[in-house]
Structure 1
Amino acid sequence: MALVKVFSGSEILAQSLKVRIEAAGVNVIVKNNIQSSNMAGFGSLGQAVEVFIEDKDKEKAAQAIEDFKMGN
């Protein structure tokens, strides 16, 4: 299972993209470094939320990702 990062940014945008990709029938993994660092007692700045999909699902998720990038 090879994972591909398709997004890195804010938590709100990551959740929006996750919903779109899942609607296309693709499983999504969200790595939230903001929550992880807060739980450990550290602060976090910048692009701390990442969205990953399996490499084999890139084509299936491509339209949802493109629509997200274009703001549709």
Structure 2
Amino acid sequence: MAFIKVFSGSVVEVQHVRQLLQDQGIEPIVKDNTTSASVAGFGAVMPDFQELYVHSDQESEVKEIISSLK
């Protein structure tokens, strides 16, 4: 099963969307490049920037939830 990126933004924005998705029974994956870069010994290009990924079969449902925020 493939994962697709559905949202990216600041830590605050991503955590808000993550909570909304979890409230709907969707468990997204959060990718934090800042933490990954720190662990690898590199500096982050965009600190406090995260991405949300979900299973590809949840894409349409997730995009509806996200679009309702705008």
Q: TM-score, normalised by structure 2?
A: 0.80
- Report the RMSD for the aligned CA atoms in angstroms: 1.7
Structure 1 unaligned regions, length at least 5: none
Gaps of 5+ in 2: none
Native 8 Å contact 1:26 1:60 kept in 2: no
Query: TM (normalized to structure 1)?
Result: 0.78
Which range moves more in the overlay, 37-46 or 23-32?
37-46
Find the aligned partners of 1:18 and 1:40 in 2 and give their Cα distance: 25
Q: Which residue of 2 aligns with 1:13?
A: 13
Q: Which amino acid in 1 is paired with 2:65?
A: A
Q: Once the two structures are aligned, what percentage of the paired residues are identical? A: 30
Aligned residues: 69
Aligned counterparts, 1:25-36, within 5 A:
25-36=25-36
Alpha-carbon displacement from aligned partner over 1:18-51 (angstroms, at most 9, x marks no partner): 1111111112011111111112221112384110
Whole-angstrom CA distance in 1 between matches of 2:68 and 2:43: 32
**Superposition misfits of 4+ residues, deviation over 6 angstroms:** none
Instruction: Tell me, in whole angstroms, the C-alpha distance in 1 between the residues paired with 2:5 and 2:20.
Output: 15
Shift of 1:14: 1.1
1:38 aligns with 2:16: no
Question: Are positions 1:57 and 2:69 aligned together?
Answer: no
Q: Which moved more, 1:23-32 or 1:39-48?
A: 39-48
Please state how far the C-alpha of 1:63 moved relative to its aligned partner: 3.1
